[in-house]
Structure 1
Amino acid sequence: QSARRYERIREQETHEFMKRIGEHANKAFLPLLEKGELRGIIIGGPGPTKEEFVDGDYLHHELRKKVIGVVDISYHGEYGLRELVEKASDILRDHEAVKERHLIQNFFRHLVKDTGMITYGEKEVRKALELGAVDTLLISEGYDKVRVRAKCNNCGWQEEKTMSEQEFHVYKKKLTHCPKCGSQNINFEKWDVAEEFIKMAEESGSDVEIISLDTDEGQQFYKAFGGLGAFLRYKIQ
Protein backbone atom coordinates (compact mmCIF):
# COMPACT_ATOMS: atom_id res chain seq x y z
CA GLN A 1 0.00 0.00 0.00
CA SER A 2 2.86 2.39 0.82
CA ALA A 3 4.54 1.43 -2.46
CA ARG A 4 1.40 2.26 -4.45
CA ARG A 5 1.04 5.55 -2.59
CA TYR A 6 4.67 6.40 -3.29
CA GLU A 7 4.17 5.57 -6.96
CA ARG A 8 1.11 7.87 -7.18
CA ILE A 9 3.06 10.71 -5.54
CA ARG A 10 5.95 10.15 -7.95
CA GLU A 11 3.61 10.16 -10.96
CA GLN A 12 1.98 13.37 -9.76
CA GLU A 13 5.33 15.08 -9.26
CA THR A 14 6.48 13.94 -12.70
CA HIS A 15 3.25 15.30 -14.22
CA GLU A 16 3.70 18.66 -12.49
CA PHE A 17 7.33 18.85 -13.59
CA MET A 18 6.49 18.17 -17.25
CA LYS A 19 3.61 20.63 -17.03
CA ARG A 20 6.03 23.36 -15.88
CA ILE A 21 8.48 22.46 -18.66
CA GLY A 22 5.65 22.67 -21.20
CA GLU A 23 4.57 26.07 -19.89
CA HIS A 24 8.14 27.40 -20.14
CA ALA A 25 8.51 25.96 -23.65
CA ASN A 26 5.21 27.48 -24.79
CA LYS A 27 6.23 30.87 -23.41
CA ALA A 28 9.65 30.72 -25.06
CA PHE A 29 8.81 29.18 -28.44
CA LEU A 30 5.31 30.36 -29.40
CA PRO A 31 6.46 33.95 -30.08
CA LEU A 32 9.24 32.55 -32.29
CA LEU A 33 6.73 30.37 -34.12
CA GLU A 34 4.46 33.35 -34.76
CA LYS A 35 7.42 35.29 -36.22
CA GLY A 36 8.35 32.35 -38.45
CA GLU A 37 11.68 31.96 -36.66
CA LEU A 38 11.14 28.45 -35.26
CA ARG A 39 12.26 25.70 -37.62
CA GLY A 40 12.02 22.70 -35.36
CA ILE A 41 12.14 21.32 -31.82
CA ILE A 42 14.31 18.42 -30.69
CA ILE A 43 13.56 16.84 -27.33
CA GLY A 44 16.05 14.73 -25.41
CA GLY A 45 16.41 13.02 -22.08
CA PRO A 46 17.25 9.74 -20.33
CA GLY A 47 14.67 7.00 -19.98
CA PRO A 48 11.05 7.10 -21.19
CA THR A 49 10.20 10.53 -19.72
CA LYS A 50 10.88 12.37 -22.98
CA GLU A 51 8.37 10.17 -24.85
CA GLU A 52 5.79 10.77 -22.11
CA PHE A 53 6.36 14.52 -22.49
CA VAL A 54 5.95 14.41 -26.27
CA ASP A 55 2.89 12.15 -26.17
CA GLY A 56 1.26 14.06 -23.29
CA ASP A 57 -0.67 17.29 -23.58
CA TYR A 58 2.15 19.47 -22.29
CA LEU A 59 3.25 21.37 -25.40
CA HIS A 60 0.97 23.70 -27.35
CA HIS A 61 -0.52 21.76 -30.28
CA GLU A 62 1.22 24.03 -32.83
CA LEU A 63 4.58 23.42 -31.14
CA ARG A 64 4.01 19.66 -31.15
CA LYS A 65 3.87 19.86 -34.95
CA LYS A 66 7.36 21.34 -34.85
CA VAL A 67 8.95 18.41 -32.99
CA ILE A 68 11.37 16.91 -35.52
CA GLY A 69 13.15 14.42 -33.29
CA VAL A 70 13.35 12.71 -29.90
CA VAL A 71 16.84 11.74 -28.73
CA ASP A 72 18.00 9.47 -25.91
CA ILE A 73 20.82 11.02 -23.86
CA SER A 74 22.78 9.88 -20.80
CA TYR A 75 23.57 13.14 -19.01
CA HIS A 76 21.71 16.04 -17.41
CA GLY A 77 22.47 19.77 -17.43
CA GLU A 78 25.06 21.31 -19.72
CA TYR A 79 26.70 17.98 -20.59
CA GLY A 80 23.31 16.59 -21.54
CA LEU A 81 22.62 19.56 -23.78
CA ARG A 82 25.95 19.08 -25.56
CA GLU A 83 25.21 15.39 -25.99
CA LEU A 84 21.77 16.24 -27.39
CA VAL A 85 23.22 18.64 -29.96
CA GLU A 86 25.82 16.07 -31.01
CA LYS A 87 23.34 13.21 -31.33
CA ALA A 88 20.79 15.41 -33.12
CA SER A 89 23.19 16.38 -35.92
CA ASP A 90 21.79 13.73 -38.29
CA ILE A 91 18.21 14.80 -37.52
CA LEU A 92 19.07 18.43 -38.20
CA ARG A 93 20.86 17.54 -41.42
CA ASP A 94 17.93 15.44 -42.66
CA HIS A 95 15.46 18.16 -41.66
CA GLU A 96 17.39 20.81 -43.60
CA ALA A 97 17.64 18.48 -46.60
CA VAL A 98 13.85 17.96 -46.65
CA LYS A 99 13.23 21.69 -46.33
CA GLU A 100 15.74 22.36 -49.10
CA ARG A 101 14.08 19.87 -51.43
CA HIS A 102 10.68 21.47 -50.88
CA LEU A 103 12.10 24.93 -51.59
CA ILE A 104 13.77 23.95 -54.85
CA GLN A 105 10.82 21.82 -56.00
CA ASN A 106 8.55 24.81 -55.40
CA PHE A 107 11.01 26.98 -57.36
CA PHE A 108 10.82 24.50 -60.28
CA ARG A 109 7.00 24.48 -60.14
CA HIS A 110 6.91 28.27 -60.49
CA LEU A 111 9.34 27.99 -63.40
CA VAL A 112 7.28 25.38 -65.26
CA LYS A 113 4.01 27.27 -64.69
CA ASP A 114 5.68 30.58 -65.63
CA THR A 115 4.00 32.38 -62.74
CA GLY A 116 6.39 35.33 -62.86
CA MET A 117 6.95 34.95 -59.12
CA ILE A 118 10.57 33.75 -59.33
CA THR A 119 13.74 35.03 -60.93
CA TYR A 120 17.26 33.69 -61.38
CA GLY A 121 20.66 34.80 -62.59
CA GLU A 122 22.97 37.43 -61.13
CA LYS A 123 21.66 40.38 -63.15
CA GLU A 124 17.98 39.55 -62.61
CA VAL A 125 18.31 38.81 -58.88
CA ARG A 126 20.31 42.01 -58.38
CA LYS A 127 17.53 44.03 -60.03
CA ALA A 128 14.87 42.35 -57.87
CA LEU A 129 16.87 43.06 -54.71
CA GLU A 130 17.33 46.70 -55.68
CA LEU A 131 13.55 47.00 -56.16
CA GLY A 132 12.86 45.33 -52.81
CA ALA A 133 10.86 42.67 -54.66
CA VAL A 134 12.60 39.60 -53.22
CA ASP A 135 10.66 37.49 -50.72
CA THR A 136 13.24 34.71 -50.33
CA LEU A 137 16.77 34.76 -51.72
CA LEU A 138 18.23 31.37 -52.72
CA ILE A 139 22.02 31.04 -52.88
CA SER A 140 23.88 27.80 -53.53
CA GLU A 141 26.81 27.08 -51.23
CA GLY A 142 28.77 26.53 -54.45
CA TYR A 143 28.17 30.07 -55.72
CA ASP A 144 31.54 31.85 -55.71
CA LYS A 145 31.29 34.81 -58.07
CA VAL A 146 32.86 38.18 -57.24
CA ARG A 147 31.88 41.69 -58.30
CA VAL A 148 34.70 43.81 -59.70
CA ARG A 149 34.90 47.56 -60.20
CA ALA A 150 37.69 49.05 -62.32
CA LYS A 151 38.14 52.82 -62.14
CA CYS A 152 40.56 55.19 -63.84
CA ASN A 153 41.95 57.66 -61.33
CA ASN A 154 42.88 60.03 -64.16
CA CYS A 155 39.63 60.57 -66.09
CA GLY A 156 37.05 58.88 -63.87
CA TRP A 157 36.08 56.11 -66.30
CA GLN A 158 34.78 52.99 -64.56
CA GLU A 159 32.99 49.70 -65.15
CA GLU A 160 31.56 46.89 -62.99
CA LYS A 161 31.48 43.19 -63.87
CA THR A 162 30.65 39.90 -62.20
CA MET A 163 33.15 37.08 -62.69
CA SER A 164 35.02 34.20 -61.07
CA GLU A 165 38.25 34.68 -59.13
CA GLN A 166 40.21 33.19 -62.03
CA GLU A 167 38.54 35.53 -64.52
CA PHE A 168 39.36 38.47 -62.25
CA HIS A 169 43.09 37.73 -62.40
CA VAL A 170 42.95 37.57 -66.21
CA TYR A 171 40.83 40.76 -66.37
CA LYS A 172 43.27 42.62 -64.13
CA LYS A 173 46.26 41.59 -66.26
CA LYS A 174 44.60 42.60 -69.53
CA LEU A 175 43.22 45.97 -68.37
CA THR A 176 46.55 47.77 -68.12
CA HIS A 177 45.39 51.04 -69.72
CA CYS A 178 42.20 53.06 -69.38
CA PRO A 179 40.11 52.52 -72.57
CA LYS A 180 39.04 56.19 -72.46
CA CYS A 181 42.22 58.18 -71.76
CA GLY A 182 44.99 55.57 -71.95
CA SER A 183 46.19 56.16 -68.37
CA GLN A 184 47.76 53.28 -66.46
CA ASN A 185 46.46 54.68 -63.17
CA ILE A 186 43.62 52.17 -62.72
CA ASN A 187 42.23 51.07 -59.37
CA PHE A 188 40.47 47.72 -58.85
CA GLU A 189 37.88 46.85 -56.19
CA LYS A 190 36.54 43.34 -55.58
CA TRP A 191 33.81 41.95 -53.29
CA ASP A 192 31.88 38.70 -52.84
CA VAL A 193 28.52 38.72 -54.64
CA ALA A 194 26.87 36.27 -52.21
CA GLU A 195 27.77 38.46 -49.23
CA GLU A 196 26.57 41.56 -51.07
CA PHE A 197 23.22 39.96 -51.94
CA ILE A 198 22.68 38.60 -48.43
CA LYS A 199 23.24 42.10 -47.04
CA MET A 200 20.82 43.60 -49.58
CA ALA A 201 18.21 40.94 -48.71
CA GLU A 202 18.51 41.58 -44.98
CA GLU A 203 18.17 45.33 -45.48
CA SER A 204 14.89 44.84 -47.39
CA GLY A 205 13.52 42.27 -44.92
CA SER A 206 13.89 39.31 -47.29
CA ASP A 207 14.56 35.75 -46.12
CA VAL A 208 17.82 34.06 -47.15
CA GLU A 209 18.22 30.33 -47.77
CA ILE A 210 21.62 28.75 -48.44
CA ILE A 211 21.13 25.72 -50.70
CA SER A 212 23.59 22.88 -50.18
CA LEU A 213 25.01 20.61 -52.86
CA ASP A 214 24.10 17.49 -50.88
CA THR A 215 20.77 16.86 -52.61
CA ASP A 216 19.86 16.22 -56.25
CA GLU A 217 17.70 19.35 -56.18
CA GLY A 218 20.58 21.42 -54.80
CA GLN A 219 22.90 20.11 -57.52
CA GLN A 220 20.32 20.85 -60.21
CA PHE A 221 19.75 24.37 -58.89
CA TYR A 222 23.49 25.04 -59.03
CA LYS A 223 24.09 23.54 -62.48
CA ALA A 224 20.96 24.81 -64.24
CA PHE A 225 20.55 28.23 -62.63
CA GLY A 226 24.09 29.09 -61.54
CA GLY A 227 23.14 28.71 -57.90
CA LEU A 228 21.32 32.02 -57.63
CA GLY A 229 17.57 32.61 -57.59
CA ALA A 230 14.71 34.23 -55.68
CA PHE A 231 11.03 33.98 -54.87
CA LEU A 232 9.38 37.35 -55.49
CA ARG A 233 6.87 39.40 -53.53
CA TYR A 234 5.32 40.62 -56.75
CA LYS A 235 5.86 40.33 -60.49
CA ILE A 236 8.54 42.50 -62.06
CA GLN A 237 7.84 44.03 -65.44
Structure 2
Amino acid sequence: MGYVAWLGNIDEEESVMTTLLRKAGKKSCFLPIGAILYVKTNVPQSLMVGETVNNIFGRTMNPYNRLLSCGGSSGGEGALIALHGSPIGIGTDIGGSIRIPAAFNGLWGIRPSHGRMPYAGARNSMEGQETVHSVCGPIAHTAEDLAYFMKAILEQEPWNYDPKVIEMPWREAKYNEGRAGKKIFGVTTVNGNIKTSREIFDLEVSRDLSS
Protein backbone atom coordinates (compact mmCIF):
# COMPACT_ATOMS: atom_id res chain seq x y z
CA MET A 1 0.00 0.00 0.00
CA GLY A 2 3.01 2.29 0.03
CA TYR A 3 2.73 2.95 3.79
CA VAL A 4 6.01 3.41 5.64
CA ALA A 5 4.20 2.24 8.81
CA TRP A 6 3.50 -1.13 7.18
CA LEU A 7 7.14 -1.96 6.43
CA GLY A 8 7.98 -5.40 7.77
CA ASN A 9 4.30 -6.20 8.33
CA ILE A 10 4.01 -9.55 6.56
CA ASP A 11 0.74 -11.47 6.33
CA GLU A 12 0.75 -15.00 7.72
CA GLU A 13 -1.77 -16.20 5.12
CA GLU A 14 -1.96 -15.41 1.41
CA SER A 15 -5.02 -14.02 -0.34
CA VAL A 16 -7.57 -16.21 -2.10
CA MET A 17 -6.49 -14.79 -5.46
CA THR A 18 -2.89 -15.80 -4.76
CA THR A 19 -3.98 -19.31 -3.79
CA LEU A 20 -6.04 -19.75 -6.96
CA LEU A 21 -3.23 -18.45 -9.14
CA ARG A 22 -0.86 -20.99 -7.64
CA LYS A 23 -3.40 -23.76 -8.22
CA ALA A 24 -4.44 -22.70 -11.73
CA GLY A 25 -4.10 -25.56 -14.18
CA LYS A 26 -3.31 -28.19 -11.59
CA LYS A 27 -6.95 -29.27 -11.42
CA SER A 28 -8.41 -28.34 -14.79
CA CYS A 29 -5.24 -28.66 -16.89
CA PHE A 30 -6.12 -25.27 -18.38
CA LEU A 31 -2.58 -24.12 -17.58
CA PRO A 32 0.51 -26.34 -17.68
CA ILE A 33 1.52 -25.30 -14.14
CA GLY A 34 0.33 -22.93 -11.48
CA ALA A 35 1.24 -19.27 -11.80
CA ILE A 36 4.76 -18.29 -10.76
CA LEU A 37 4.64 -15.25 -8.47
CA TYR A 38 7.98 -13.50 -8.20
CA VAL A 39 7.60 -9.77 -7.59
CA LYS A 40 5.34 -7.08 -6.16
CA THR A 41 5.26 -3.74 -7.95
CA ASN A 42 5.09 -0.16 -6.80
CA VAL A 43 1.91 1.69 -5.85
CA PRO A 44 1.13 5.19 -4.55
CA GLN A 45 0.72 5.59 -0.82
CA SER A 46 -2.83 4.54 0.11
CA LEU A 47 -3.73 3.84 -3.56
CA MET A 48 -6.59 5.88 -5.09
CA VAL A 49 -4.08 8.05 -7.01
CA GLY A 50 -3.58 8.34 -10.78
CA GLU A 51 0.22 8.13 -10.55
CA THR A 52 2.67 5.95 -8.63
CA VAL A 53 4.81 7.54 -5.92
CA ASN A 54 5.43 6.84 -2.23
CA ASN A 55 8.03 7.53 0.45
CA ILE A 56 9.49 4.00 0.33
CA PHE A 57 10.41 3.38 -3.31
CA GLY A 58 9.87 6.84 -4.79
CA ARG A 59 8.25 7.41 -8.16
CA THR A 60 7.70 4.91 -10.97
CA MET A 61 7.85 6.48 -14.42
CA ASN A 62 6.42 5.53 -17.78
CA PRO A 63 8.73 2.96 -19.46
CA TYR A 64 8.23 4.56 -22.88
CA ASN A 65 8.94 8.11 -21.76
CA ARG A 66 10.45 8.79 -18.34
CA LEU A 67 9.13 12.36 -18.44
CA LEU A 68 5.59 10.93 -18.18
CA SER A 69 3.66 8.99 -15.56
CA CYS A 70 2.98 5.25 -15.66
CA GLY A 71 -0.44 5.98 -14.18
CA GLY A 72 -1.88 4.56 -10.99
CA SER A 73 -2.67 3.21 -8.69
CA SER A 74 -1.48 -0.09 -10.19
CA GLY A 75 1.19 1.86 -12.06
CA GLY A 76 4.14 -0.32 -11.11
CA GLU A 77 2.32 -3.31 -12.54
CA GLY A 78 1.55 -1.41 -15.73
CA ALA A 79 5.21 -0.44 -16.14
CA LEU A 80 6.40 -4.00 -15.51
CA ILE A 81 4.02 -5.53 -18.05
CA ALA A 82 4.85 -2.85 -20.63
CA LEU A 83 8.55 -3.74 -20.26
CA HIS A 84 7.70 -7.45 -20.73
CA GLY A 85 8.93 -8.12 -17.22
CA SER A 86 5.94 -10.43 -16.83
CA PRO A 87 3.36 -11.79 -19.29
CA ILE A 88 0.42 -10.75 -17.10
CA GLY A 89 -0.16 -8.94 -13.83
CA ILE A 90 -2.90 -8.12 -11.35
CA GLY A 91 -4.04 -4.74 -10.18
CA THR A 92 -6.87 -3.44 -8.05
CA ASP A 93 -9.40 -0.87 -9.19
CA ILE A 94 -12.08 1.38 -7.72
CA GLY A 95 -12.09 4.40 -10.03
CA GLY A 96 -9.50 3.55 -12.68
CA SER A 97 -6.50 1.99 -10.95
CA ILE A 98 -6.27 -0.83 -13.51
CA ARG A 99 -7.62 1.09 -16.49
CA ILE A 100 -5.37 4.15 -16.11
CA PRO A 101 -2.06 2.20 -16.06
CA ALA A 102 -3.31 0.08 -18.96
CA ALA A 103 -4.06 3.19 -21.00
CA PHE A 104 -0.83 4.99 -20.05
CA ASN A 105 1.35 1.98 -20.93
CA GLY A 106 -0.33 0.75 -24.10
CA LEU A 107 -1.85 -2.34 -22.46
CA TRP A 108 -5.16 -4.06 -21.93
CA GLY A 109 -6.87 -4.14 -18.56
CA ILE A 110 -10.26 -5.00 -17.15
CA ARG A 111 -12.04 -3.93 -14.00
CA PRO A 112 -14.36 -6.86 -13.31
CA SER A 113 -17.73 -6.21 -11.72
CA HIS A 114 -17.77 -6.49 -7.94
CA GLY A 115 -18.21 -10.10 -6.92
CA ARG A 116 -16.70 -11.58 -10.08
CA MET A 117 -13.12 -12.06 -8.83
CA PRO A 118 -12.06 -13.07 -5.28
CA TYR A 119 -10.70 -10.32 -3.01
CA ALA A 120 -10.65 -12.09 0.36
CA GLY A 121 -7.35 -11.84 2.20
CA ALA A 122 -6.00 -9.00 0.04
CA ARG A 123 -4.80 -5.84 1.77
CA ASN A 124 -6.95 -2.75 1.44
CA SER A 125 -6.55 0.86 2.51
CA MET A 126 -10.22 1.18 3.42
CA GLU A 127 -11.26 -1.94 5.30
CA GLY A 128 -15.00 -1.87 5.91
CA GLN A 129 -15.74 0.62 3.13
CA GLU A 130 -18.57 -1.14 1.34
CA THR A 131 -20.05 1.71 -0.72
CA VAL A 132 -17.74 1.58 -3.76
CA HIS A 133 -15.89 -1.72 -3.88
CA SER A 134 -12.32 -2.29 -4.92
CA VAL A 135 -11.87 -5.27 -7.25
CA CYS A 136 -8.97 -7.36 -8.56
CA GLY A 137 -8.34 -7.64 -12.28
CA PRO A 138 -5.68 -8.46 -14.87
CA ILE A 139 -3.36 -6.22 -16.90
CA ALA A 140 -1.83 -7.72 -20.04
CA HIS A 141 -0.73 -7.13 -23.64
CA THR A 142 -3.83 -8.55 -25.36
CA ALA A 143 -7.54 -8.99 -24.79
CA GLU A 144 -7.02 -12.74 -25.18
CA ASP A 145 -4.66 -12.68 -22.20
CA LEU A 146 -7.37 -11.07 -20.07
CA ALA A 147 -9.79 -13.83 -21.04
CA TYR A 148 -7.09 -16.42 -20.30
CA PHE A 149 -6.73 -15.04 -16.79
CA MET A 150 -10.46 -14.78 -16.09
CA LYS A 151 -11.11 -18.32 -17.29
CA ALA A 152 -8.24 -19.74 -15.24
CA ILE A 153 -9.69 -18.24 -12.04
CA LEU A 154 -13.37 -18.89 -12.70
CA GLU A 155 -12.82 -22.53 -13.64
CA GLN A 156 -11.71 -23.05 -10.03
CA GLU A 157 -15.08 -21.87 -8.66
CA PRO A 158 -13.75 -19.02 -6.51
CA TRP A 159 -17.11 -18.68 -4.71
CA ASN A 160 -16.10 -21.77 -2.74
CA TYR A 161 -13.14 -19.79 -1.33
CA ASP A 162 -14.61 -16.28 -1.00
CA PRO A 163 -18.30 -15.94 -0.03
CA LYS A 164 -18.53 -12.52 -1.70
CA VAL A 165 -17.88 -13.98 -5.15
CA ILE A 166 -21.02 -14.49 -7.22
CA GLU A 167 -21.56 -18.09 -8.30
CA MET A 168 -21.25 -17.46 -12.02
CA PRO A 169 -18.93 -19.78 -13.98
CA TRP A 170 -16.96 -18.96 -17.11
CA ARG A 171 -19.35 -19.03 -20.07
CA GLU A 172 -17.45 -19.84 -23.25
CA ALA A 173 -20.50 -19.29 -25.47
CA LYS A 174 -21.05 -15.79 -24.06
CA TYR A 175 -17.35 -15.00 -24.52
CA ASN A 176 -17.38 -16.08 -28.17
CA GLU A 177 -20.63 -14.20 -28.72
CA GLY A 178 -18.97 -11.05 -27.42
CA ARG A 179 -15.90 -11.54 -29.60
CA ALA A 180 -18.01 -11.82 -32.75
CA GLY A 181 -20.48 -9.07 -31.88
CA LYS A 182 -20.42 -5.44 -32.91
CA LYS A 183 -18.12 -3.24 -30.78
CA ILE A 184 -19.27 0.21 -29.69
CA PHE A 185 -16.94 2.82 -28.22
CA GLY A 186 -17.86 6.18 -26.78
CA VAL A 187 -15.79 9.33 -26.20
CA THR A 188 -17.00 12.25 -24.11
CA THR A 189 -15.29 15.59 -23.62
CA VAL A 190 -17.38 16.82 -20.67
CA ASN A 191 -19.61 14.78 -18.36
CA GLY A 192 -21.15 17.79 -16.66
CA ASN A 193 -18.82 17.64 -13.68
CA ILE A 194 -15.23 17.17 -14.84
CA LYS A 195 -13.72 18.49 -18.05
CA THR A 196 -11.35 16.11 -19.82
CA SER A 197 -7.86 17.53 -20.20
CA ARG A 198 -6.86 18.66 -23.69
CA GLU A 199 -4.05 16.11 -23.81
CA ILE A 200 -6.35 13.13 -23.18
CA PHE A 201 -8.96 14.42 -25.62
CA ASP A 202 -6.36 14.90 -28.39
CA LEU A 203 -5.05 11.37 -27.74
CA GLU A 204 -8.52 9.82 -28.01
CA VAL A 205 -9.32 11.73 -31.19
CA SER A 206 -6.03 10.69 -32.81
CA ARG A 207 -6.71 7.04 -31.90
CA ASP A 208 -10.17 7.27 -33.42
CA LEU A 209 -8.85 8.76 -36.65
CA SER A 210 -6.04 6.24 -36.93
CA SER A 211 -8.44 3.32 -36.63
TM-score > 0.5 by shorter chain: no
Tell me which protein shows more helix as a share of its residues.
1
Q: Select the structure that is richer in strand.
A: 1
Bigger-Rg structure (1/2): 1
Q: TM-score, normalised by structure 1?
A: 0.20
User: RCO (CA 8 Å, sep 6+): is it higher in 1 or 2?
Assistant: 1
